[in-house]
Amino acid sequence: MGMLHGRRVLLGVTGSVAAYKACDFVRRLQEAGCEVRVVMTAAACEFVAPLSFQALSGFPVRSAVFDAQAEAGMDHISLARWAEVIVIAPASANFIARLAHGLADDLLSTLCLARLVQTPLCVAPAMNHGMWLNAATQENVSTLRRRGVFVLGPGQGVQACGEVGEGRLLEIPVLLGALEQCVGPWPLRGRRVVLTAGPTREALDPVRYVGNRSSGRMGYALAQAAACRGAEVVLVSGPCALAVPYGVRHVAVESAAQMREAVLAEVGGCDVFIGAAAVADYRAAAVAAQKLKKGADDWCVSLVRNPDILAEVAALGVGRPFVVGFAAETGRLVELARDKLVRKGLDMIAANDVSEGQGFDVADNALSVLWGDGGVDLPRQSKEALAHALLDVIVARYLAKGC
Ligand code: CTP
């Protein structure tokens, strides 16, 4: 389960062209298991009709503080108490200014002011880049951050006005991931997690390579799950067609040699290392400088062993991180994984059976997690849910080791 599952989320929509994107956000929040109520500012109602949000959320949309019909059941205080998370998306420059100055001149600003201190308040700015970079907005945003408000984005790109710059609402899947990181608890706060993910590509010549079917989905989901627990996360990744989770530092590599170099540069001072990449065990003995031309009927490629990045990190000695590896097996799962755990000197290994359409390039997976004197089976589920379950096991073992 993700961090947002079962949460009561109050979505505030303010006056920005991006208000229409909030309709999709309602759906994505519901898919993540949230109960959603929407409050709109008057300006937001100029962009999108409240009825759209009412139909999507399944609840009446509120806008005014003095709403005779609604006041009887759920006034502004009880709505503020109902919310476990408040997210303003999109948050206009005007609304951010009102928030920074503690105004309570409409329902949404009043709710934000009345919320309990433990209720996370998240704002996802969306505005013209000039408005975003204006000193007034920047000072208002700094004020909010200082008060513990989570500022999610904005993103870069083409704006509604046709200009290009910083100020776009984060893409909805990224925003959802960013919000998931705001709800806590954060047992890895102040800790650094380095992960490897995806496949590696071992070049044969300038156009050909030896690769594998890893999608990177498990590694990327683990990076998000670690960020949700408050860690500073570095994701060293081979080529993947996936969005990098919000706030995660991405180091793009191609070959196993590049991955090793990047990991060794990042692993100093790291608390947890997770090797989720499908690192090629072999690379070409020689990479041709020019494109190889076909000729003979068969073609033999000479391969040599790649260094084992995971084993190298595990052998770092004093101050080394808590090291978690993966094992992909087609039989004798626990026996072979336990052997790998010992042979590579790991703290934990997550083994998966790749024999029945499981593991590689599929959405679901199951894992047998093993450590020195124990283990646990994590049943088949989406890789996102599995990543959260595995991170819970990692955190428990990491803290139990007194790290
Ligand atoms: N790994 C690594 N560097 C390599 C090879 C593997 O860091 N050169 C890591 C992977 O990221 C993974 C684990 O080691 O965490 C997998 O170990 P590996 O020995 O490759 O096991 P399998 O993939 O299961 O393959 P085999 O059965 O061939 O040993």
Instruction: Return the amino acid letter for 361.
Output: D
Average pLDDT over the chain, rounded to an integer: 94
Q: How far is CA 124 from the centre of its chain?
A: 16
Same fold, 8-180 and 192-400: yes
Domain ranges of the chain: 8-180, 192-400
Helix (H, G, I), strand (E, B) or coil at 310: helix
Closest ligand 1 atom to 313 CA: 7
pLDDT in tens, 188-230: 999 999 999 999 999 999 999 999 999 999 999 999 999 999 9
Residues acting as catalytic residues: 161
299 CA from centroid of ligand 1 (Å): 27
The arrangement of strands across the sheet holding 348-353 comes to 249-252, 232-237, 192-197, 272-275, 322-329, 348-353, 364-371, 374-382
Lowest-pLDDT choice from 50-54, 57-61, 243-247, 292-296: 292-296
Interval between CA 107 and ligand 1 midpoint (Å): 55
Question: What is the tens place of the pLDDT at every residue in 332-345?
Answer: 999 999 999 999 99
Look at residue 70 in the predicted model and tell me its pLDDT: 57
Give, rounded to a whole angstrom, the gap between the first and last alpha carbons of the chain.
26
318-332 per-position pLDDT tens digit = 889 999 999 998 889
Whether residue 360 has pLDDT greater than 70: no
- pLDDT over 60 (residue 250): yes
**Ligand 1 pocket: which residues have CB below 6 Å?**
196, 256, 275, 277, 279, 281, 306, 308-310, 325-329, 340
Determine the average pLDDT of the residues in 241-261: 97
Ligand 1 atom 18 nearest Cα:
327
Q: Which of 207, 289, 197 is nearest to 249 (CA)?
A: 197
Strand partners, 168: 155
Asked whether 201 and 283 are in contact (CB, 8 A), the reply is no
Distance 205 CA to ligand 1 centre (A): 24
> In the chain, what percentage of residues exceed pLDDT 70?
96
pLDDT at 389 over 60: yes
Contact 204, 225 (CB under 8 A): no
Q: Which atom of ligand 1 lies closest to the CA of 306?
A: 8
- Look at residues 304, 305, 311 and name the one whose alpha carbon lies nearest to residue 196: 311
Give me the half-sphere count of Cα atoms (radius 13 Å) on the Cβ side of residue 318: 0
Contacts of residue 261, defined as CB under 8 A and 6 or more positions apart, other chains included, come to 253
Per-residue pLDDT at 71: 53
**Averaged pLDDT, 366-385:** 95
- Per residue in 87-109, pLDDT (tens digit) is 999 999 999 999 999 999 999 99
Q: Which CATH superfamily is domain 8-180 in?
A: Flavin prenyltransferase-like (3.40.50.1950)
Instruction: Determine the pLDDT at residue 164.
Output: 84
For 175-191, write each residue's pLDDT tens digit.
999 999 999 999 999 99
Q: What's the DSSP call for residue 239? A: S
Residues 137-150: what's their mean pLDDT?
Answer: 98
Q: What is the pLDDT of residues 74-87, one digit of tens each?
A: 567 889 999 999 99
Supply 236's token pair.
């060293």
CATH of span 192-400: 3.40.50.10300
Q: Residue 1: is its pLDDT beyond 90? A: no
**pTM for the predicted model, two decimal places:** 0.93
**Is residue 296 classed as helix, strand or coil in its secondary structure?**
coil
237, 258, 310, 341: which to mutate for ligand 1, most atoms within 8 A of CB? 310
- Give per-residue pLDDT as tens, 260-319: 999 999 999 999 999 999 999 999 999 999 999 988 889 899 999 999 999 999 999 888
Of residues 157 and 386, which shows the higher confidence score? Answer: 386
Distance 248 CA to ligand 1 centre (A): 24
The angle that helices 107-114 and 93-100 make with each other, rounded to 10 degrees, is: 40
